[in-house]
Amino acid sequence: MKSVLIIGAGQFGRHIAKRMSELRCEIMAVDSDEECINAILPYVTSAQIGDSTNAEFMRSLGIPDYDVCIVTISDSFQDSLETTALLKELGANKVISRAQNDVQEKFLRRNGADETVYPEKQTAIRLATKEASDDILDVLQLDHDLNIYEVRVPEEWTGRSIADLDIRKKHNLNIIAVRTSDQLIVPMPHMHLSSDDAILVLGNMKDIHKVF
């Protein structure tokens, strides 16, 4: 069970808290706004109203005891930056901070963030990739170039086995799962693809767009 500190109890912070509570994490939430704290209470183990840029208050939380600290402040980049730097100064094991543009991402990295999340950019890339092709149903970005794509089975692949298609050799792509009408399964080489199936393919965008 991971111990998590979420600083910033706005909408983004609440979404994180809700999911992490479902995954049985112990969560402490901090925000300077009482209404935000009240809204996040159903999803956290405990919560405090306080100023995350105040060193004395932050020290009282026992920062080194948390496995990860997530800074989701969105209304003040100065507060987000100061909080990120302070967490690292107080011995945080891992700091993940929210950025709203490329410049913020760069400054957060320089001031103690081990990782940054940029939800607007990530959502935009996902949406644009999906809507650029009728055959791409979804995309999960792993890094700058390598992604997992959920795609429709091309007509010319219907009825053929995965071994026969050999897309790893022919197209530099890997089929890692097949979604049938009711389940997601790990494919075997002898499995034949149906026109009703969707496949999860690991590869880069250039190779994906050559095929789909």
Residue scoring higher pLDDT (134 or 101): 101
Average pLDDT over residues 117-129: 80
- For 13-69, what is each residue's pLDDT tens digit? 999 999 999 999 999 999 999 999 999 999 999 999 999 999 999 999 999 999 999
Q: Are 201 and 173 a contacting pair, CB within 8 Å?
A: yes
H/E stretch holding 102 reads helix 102-110
The CB density around residue 40, as the number of other CB atoms within 10 Å, is 25
Mean pLDDT of the 188-205 span:
90
- Per CATH, which fold does 122-211 belong to? Alpha-Beta Plaits (3.30.70)
Q: What does the CA dihedral 144, 75, 79, 118 come to, rounded to 10 degrees?
A: -10
Residue with tokens 């049985």: 24
Every domain range in the chain assigned CATH 3.30.70.1450: 122-211
The CATH number of the domain covering residues in 3-117: 3.40.50.720
pLDDT for the residue 68: 97
Q: Write the pLDDT tens digit of every residue in 134-191.
A: 788 888 877 767 889 999 998 899 999 999 999 999 999 999 999 987 788 898 999 9
Give the pLDDT of residue 144: 67
Predicted confidence (pLDDT) per residue in 72-99, tens digit: 998 899 999 999 999 999 999 999 999 9
pLDDT the model gives residue 127: 81
Q: Does residue 9 have a pLDDT over 90?
A: yes
pLDDT at 129 exceeding the cut of 80: no
Measure the CA–CA gap between 196 and 182, rounded to whole angstroms.
11
Q: Does residue 58 contact residue 90 with C-beta atoms inside 8 Å?
A: yes
Residue 72: CB atoms within 10 Å: 24
pTM of the model: 0.72
Cα 6 from Cα 30, distance rounded (Å): 6
Helix (H, G, I), strand (E, B) or coil at 80: helix
- With residue 15 as reference, give the H or E element that holds it: helix 11-22
3-state secondary structure of 112: coil
Cβ(136)–Cβ(150) under 8 Å? Answer: yes
Q: Retrieve residue 64's tokens.
A: 């080194």
